[in-house]
Amino acid sequence: MDLSQKVIYQIYPRSFQDSNGDGIGDLRGIIQRLDYLQKLGIDMIWLSPFYPSPQNDNGYDVSNYTAIDPQFGTMSDFEELVIQAKKHEIEIMLDMVFNHTSTEHEWFQKALAGDKEYQDFYYIRPLKEDGSLPTNWQSKFGGPAWEKFGETDLYYLHLYDKTQADLNWHNPKVRKSLQEVVKFWMNKGVKGFRFDVLNVIGKAPILVDSQQVDINQEKALYTDTPIVGQWIEELNQTTFGQDASFVTVGEMSSTTIDAGISYTNPTENKLSMIFSFHHLKVDYEKGEKWSNSAFDFIQFKKIIDDWQVGMFQGHGWNALFLNNHDQPRANSRFGDTDNYPFETATMLAQMIHFLRGTPYIYQGEEIGMTNPNFSNIEQYQDVETKNYYRILKDKGLGEEEIMSIIQAKSRDNSRTPMQWSDQIGAGFTKGEPWLAIANNFQNINAKKELNQEGIFHYYQQLIRLRKENPIIQKGSYRGLYLDDPHFMVYVRKLESENQPNQELLVICHFGEQERLFTMPKAYQNRKAKSLLGNGPLHKRYNGTTSLEFGPYETVAYLFKE
Ligand code: GLC
Ligand code: CA
């Protein structure tokens, strides 16, 4: 199957399905839910890390790349999962966290014990002459990016948590070791990889201060440097590049469209696609995530439009998504889940699924799960959230304001357990869940969704329509009404030799009032068929100049002549 037909589903194993009552999701739990995933219609599951780890960053701090953490199961559970998934026509994508290892990884432990060979696996540096840290860089989770290297006078670099030490990719032994990890999992039947924060692996051998202590300025010093592309190509050529059906996606922090093209244009031999995040920073105040501000809809549209146009022109390929394990729930963020839960969830889904690229669904999105709005900091578990709670306290913000920021921005928003049913434990666990379940599980759960024509059913149709319609897979993209404050509108167009030109006009209403939409001139009074919609317009269209949209209504019209 061509990449453009696939839809990928992300599982956060900790929170998906617990099979043994310890409150933590596990591999056997995933096996139990394969029927559900097949019913949804997805082609591949991306599993967030389940490798041995001290779990300071929920497994993104890996202490052994080629084993299974006992809390998630065993290697034979994993092998069973690959086999069972295949029977369900589902392939497996694994998360490779190669920018850093846990400080408990054997390599770091050997380095600590004085082994020079392994010290060269990391960025270990002396203090500056004036006694200050090797550089003034900040960790992305708050605080300085350097931590004391054992009992020595040296310091090691960590762009993330202090237990996540950055790997020195300049060392060929590091690159070789990581290639071996990739091959190990390929031999187990894995068919895809998601590479964690891949574009920050190319730090310079000599690290320098950023001009100001400003995280955005600093990023330029270690993001998308030219050597990154070279190393990705090497990884591709020595491992997965041999298999044309392999699917790879690089998580790219603060990247650019040009870089995105250079990573994903097929002639580059690097990756199938990338995740970029600019469209999910439109509710950051002056670039600061830990703030409370309404989202800028025009900017949101403009960023998506730029990426769609730019990547199309450069023959690049986008991963399409609004949710993942690091993001608050998109429906809580961009819509109204209290009054229009169905409309919000389906409108956002349609907006994403009809774009050019490969759509990702994050667990629970397909049943309309929301942010949990925990009121007490003790209910949050995430390391970044806990750090920023302290940082905001130190800045002098009051408890109430801090909690409202955390309710909106915490990564735990998407990490609460999957809501399978209205039973105690939400069908996720028979024990005490590792993170509290959102208290709306009696109303929002998979069991209920499967018994109605709701959000789940809508996702099934979106996935099916992608497979049936080349225009969704391969059509060009053009954005319309970019300055309109209420509607997001775009056209996909497929020019084919033996068929008349087809156009798919996708209209998404972001708002809770009824609102009149004027058809673009070129489409007025023409015959069209509605491919899919979440409200009355789906059935009512008969060639007109203006349409009345309900709250969060969306519709997509196919014009054939
Ligand atoms: C990525 C992961 C995130 C993790 C970070 C460091 O952004 O998605 O969960 O904390 O990398 O590994
Ligand atoms: Ca378990």
For residue 156, the cross-strand partners are 124, 147
pLDDT at 541: 74
Q: Which amino acid, one-letter code, is at 360?
A: Y
Ligand nearest to the CA of 28: 2
Q: Are residues 201 and 242 in the same domain?
A: yes
Residue tagged active-site, from 57, 61, 166, 251: 251
Nearest atom in ligand 1 to the alpha carbon of residue 97 is 12
- Pick from 419, 465, 468: nearest CA to 446: 419
Does residue 395 lie within any of the structural domains?
no
Rg (CA), the chain: 24
Q: Is 382 among the catalytic positions?
A: no
Distance 281 CA to ligand 2 centre (A): 34
pLDDT at 420: 98
Q: What is the mean pLDDT of the chain?
A: 96
- Alpha carbons 393 and 408: distance in angstroms, whole number: 17
Distance 60 CA to ligand 1 centre (A): 6
Residue tagged active-site, from 196, 224, 283, 305: 196
Q: Are residues 335 and 454 in the same domain?
A: yes
Q: Are residues 290 and 345 in the same domain?
A: no
Our measurement of the distance from residue 104's CA atom to the centroid of its chain's CA atoms, rounded to an integer in Å, reads 26
Q: Are residues 503 and 547 in the same domain?
A: yes
Residue 432, Cβ density class (10 Å: 0-12 exposed, 13-18 middle, ≥19 buried): exposed
| Buried b / exposed e along 141-172 (16+ C-beta atoms within 10 A) | bbebbbbebeeeeebbbbbbbbbbbbbbbbee
Q: Which of 324, 326, 381, 409 to mutate to test the pocket of ligand 1 (most atoms within 8 A of CB)?
A: 326
Does residue 100 lie within any of the structural domains?
no
For residue 548, the cross-strand partners are 516
CATH number of the domain where residue 346 is located? 3.20.20.80
Distance 472 CA to ligand 1 centre (A): 30
Q: What are the start-end ranges of the E strands in 481-551?
A: 487-494, 502-509, 515-518, 529-533, 546-549
CATH number of the domain where residue 508 is located? 2.60.40.1180
- Alpha carbons 120 and 156: distance in angstroms, whole number: 11
Quickly state the pLDDT bin for 149 (edges 50, 70, 90). Answer: very high
**Ligand 1: which residue has its CA nearest to atom 12?**
60
Which residue, chain included where needed, has tokens 């994903």?
A: 264
Q: Are residues 263 and 351 in the same domain?
A: no
Q: Are residues 16 and 79 in the same domain?
A: yes
- What average pLDDT does the segment 85-109 reach? 98
Q: Which amino acid, one-letter code, is at 244?
A: A
Q: Which of 10, 14, 50, 57 to mutate to test the pocket of ligand 1 (most atoms within 8 A of CB)?
A: 57
Q: Is 196 among the catalytic positions?
A: yes
Does residue 540 lie within any of the structural domains?
yes
Q: Are residues 461 and 523 in the same domain?
A: no
Q: Are residues 192 and 286 in the same domain?
A: yes
CATH number of the domain where residue 123 is located? 3.90.400.10
- What average pLDDT does the segment 91-95 reach? 98
Tens-digit pLDDT profile for residues 56-74: 999 999 999 999 999 999 9
Distance 349 CA to ligand 1 centre (A): 24
pLDDT at 471: 96
**Which of 301, 317, 333 is the endpoint of a domain?**
317
**Angle value at C-alpha 198, between 226 and 290, nearest 5 degrees:** 110
Residue 525 reports pLDDT greater than 90: no
Q: Which residues contact 176 (CB under 8 A, 6 or more apart)?
A: none
**Angle value at C-alpha 448, between 367 and 376, nearest 5 degrees:** 60
Nearest atom in ligand 1 to the alpha carbon of residue 99 is 12
Beta strands at 164-166 and 192-195: parallel, antiparallel or unpaired? unpaired
Give me the sheet containing 192-195, strands edge to edge: 273-275, 247-251, 192-195, 91-96, 44-47, 8-11, 358-362, 319-320
Which residue, chain included where needed, has tokens 């995280």?
A: 215
Does residue 101 lie within any of the structural domains?
no
Q: Which of 197, 254, 386 to mutate to test the pocket of ligand 1 (most atoms within 8 A of CB)?
A: 197
- Alpha carbons 60 and 74: distance in angstroms, whole number: 18
Note down the domain range covering 228.
187-317
Four-residue CA torsion sign, 222, 227, 230, 235: negative
Distance 368 CA to ligand 2 centre (A): 24
pLDDT at 214: 67
Quickly state the pLDDT bin for 495 (edges 50, 70, 90). Answer: confident
Does residue 290 lie within any of the structural domains?
yes
Q: Are residues 272 and 290 in the same domain?
A: yes
pLDDT at 213: 63
Residue 287 reports pLDDT greater than 90: no
Tens-digit pLDDT profile for residues 226-274: 999 999 999 999 999 999 999 999 999 999 999 999 999 999 999 999 9
- Please give the C-alpha separations between residue 124 and each of 103, 116, 142, 170, 265, in angstroms, as whole numbers: 13, 11, 20, 13, 35
Nearest atom in ligand 1 to the alpha carbon of residue 253 is 7
Does residue 160 lie within any of the structural domains?
yes
Q: Which residues contact 65 (CB under 8 A, 6 or more apart)?
A: 51, 96, 178, 181, 184
Does residue 380 lie within any of the structural domains?
no
Total tally of structural domains belonging to the chain = 4
Could you tell me if residue 531 is left (phi over 0), alpha (psi between -120 and 50 degrees) or otherwise beta? alpha
- Alpha carbons 303 and 299: distance in angstroms, whole number: 6
Contact, 326 vs 374, CB < 8 A? no
Q: Which protein residues have a CB closer than 5 Å to ligand 2 (ion)?
A: 18, 20, 22, 24, 26
Does residue 247 lie within any of the structural domains?
yes
Q: Are residues 554 and 452 in the same domain?
A: no
Q: Around Cβ 120, how many Cβ atoms within 10 Å?
A: 15
- Alpha carbons 416 and 297: distance in angstroms, whole number: 27
**Ligand 1: which residue has its CA nearest to atom 9?**
326
Query: HSE-up of 340 (CA within 13 Å, CB side)?
Result: 24
- Pick from 362, 357, 359: nearest CA to 325: 362
Distance 328 CA to ligand 1 centre (A): 14
- Alpha carbons 309 and 477: distance in angstroms, whole number: 7
Beta strands at 546-549 and 515-518: parallel, antiparallel or unpaired? antiparallel
Residue 216 reports pLDDT greater than 80: no
The set of protein residues with a Cβ atom below 6 angstroms from ligand 1 is 57, 60, 97, 160, 196-197, 251, 325-326
**Ligand 1: which residue has its CA nearest to atom 2?**
196
Q: Where are the alpha helices (DSSP H) in 88-157?
A: 106-112, 116-119
Residue 186 reports pLDDT greater than 80: yes
Question: What does pTM read for this prediction?
Answer: 0.97
Both structure tokens of 426: 């939400």
Four-residue CA torsion sign, 151, 157, 162, 166: negative
Q: Are residues 328 and 311 in the same domain?
A: no
Q: Are residues 230 and 260 in the same domain?
A: yes
- What average pLDDT does the segment 71-84 reach? 98
Could you tell me if residue 236 is left (phi over 0), alpha (psi between -120 and 50 degrees) or otherwise beta? alpha
Q: What is the dihedral of CA 139, 144, 145, 150, to 10 degrees?
A: -130
